[in-house]
Each structure stands twice: as structure tokens, then as C-alpha cells.
């Protein structure tokens, strides 16, 4: 069984982009952190990043098909700035038929007001905000808990 971790725009720049906000862990190190957690939980990891909204929509549809085949426990999704702008991503998540946990590295509620609303939150199984990259670990555990009832 697979756990999917999907990162949206600009998260390829982790480690160098605003380290005072997002920390110094690189995207490659984040993938390793997620892989270690997946191993601990007995799951396969599928880790992806895209800067393109349509690509993220395609992936949600694809993962939805994986879910229909019983091959995934769901998605940890950091939509980046698309959280605040994208109805298309919201619709894709709603249609995917698998739990999606929204994860933000920074505490978006302590930042600019345009980051306070997320289109994704209303269709997310849960939201993890402000725990740094360790939030991905919490989100994976949360997903597993949902699956185990």
C-alpha cells in the first residue's frame, strides 16, 4: 500500500527559499524524511512535486484511480500558494475519493491575510499547519489513523 506525498509550486526550492519561514531542509531531504516515516509505518512512498496547477489536478485524478483499486491510503498534499487560489484543485480532491491531508510547513494563519483561507481545507480529511517539515510525518500518521478507523 502506498502513501502519496504531493508538493505544489515553489516547494522544489525548499532549503534555500525563505529559510526563516520554511526551514533549511531541502526538498531531497524532505523526501528522505517522508521515506523513513513511510518505512516505519510499513508503507510505500510516492513523492512528487510540480509547479503546475494542471499537473497537480492530473495527479489527483490519477491517485483517485489508485484509490479505487485499493492501492493507496491517501495523499499528504502541500498545495503551496494554490491552496489560496485554486478551485480546480479543490474539485479534483473532492473527486478523488481518497483522504487528502492538507499540510503547510509554516503557520499560514500567523502570516499575511491572503494565506488565511484555503480552498482545499473544506475537502481535506484534515489539515496540518505550522509544524515545519515534521508536519508531513504527522500528516502521514493521521492518514494511517483514518484508514485504520
Is residue 7 a contact point for ligand DQA (CB under 6 A)?
Answer: no
CB of 128 to ligand DQA, least distance (A): 10
Among 90, 104, 119, 137, binds ligand DQA (CB under 6 A): 104
Cell of 90: 479543490
- Secondary structure (H, E, C), 43-106: CEEEEEECCCHHHHHHHHHHHHHHHHCCCEEEEEEECHHHHHCCHHHHHHHHHHCCCEEEEECC
Among 57, 96, 108, 124, binds ligand DQA (CB under 6 A): 108
- Find, among 125, 74, 63, 76, the residue nearest to 105 by Cα: 76
CB of 91 to ligand DQA, least distance (A): 19
Does the annotation mark 119 as catalytic? no
Residue numbers belonging to the annotated binding site for substrate: 78, 84, 91, 105-106, 115
Report the interface residues with ligand DQA, using CB under 6 A: 10, 78, 80-81, 104-106, 108, 115
Amino acid at each position: 500500500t502506498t502513501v502519496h506525498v504531493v508538493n505544489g509550486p515553489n516547494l522544489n526550492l525548499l532549503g534555500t527559499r525563505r529559510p526563516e519561514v520554511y526551514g533549511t531542509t531541502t526538498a531531497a531531504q524532505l523526501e528522505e524524511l517522508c521515506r523513513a516515516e513511510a518505512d516505519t509505518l510499513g508503507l510505500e512512498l510516492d513523492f512528487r512535486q510540480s509547479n503546475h496547477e494542471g499537473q497537480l489536478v492530473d495527479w489527483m485524478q490519477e491517485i483517485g484511480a489508485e484509490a479505487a483499486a485499493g492501492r493507496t491510503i491517501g495523499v499528504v498534499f502541500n498545495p503551496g500558494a494554490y491552496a489560496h487560489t485554486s478551485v480546480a484543485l479543490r474539485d479534483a480532491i473532492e473527486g478523488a475519493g481518497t483522504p487528502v491531508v492538507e499540510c503547510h510547513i509554516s503557520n499560514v494563519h500567523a502570516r499575511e491575510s491572503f494565506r488565511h483561507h484555503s480552498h482545499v481545507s473544506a475537502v481535506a480529511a484534515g489539515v496540518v499547519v505550522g509544524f515545519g517539515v515534521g508536519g508531513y510525518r504527522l500528516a502521514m500518521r493521521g492518514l494511517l489513523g483514518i484508514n485504520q478507523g
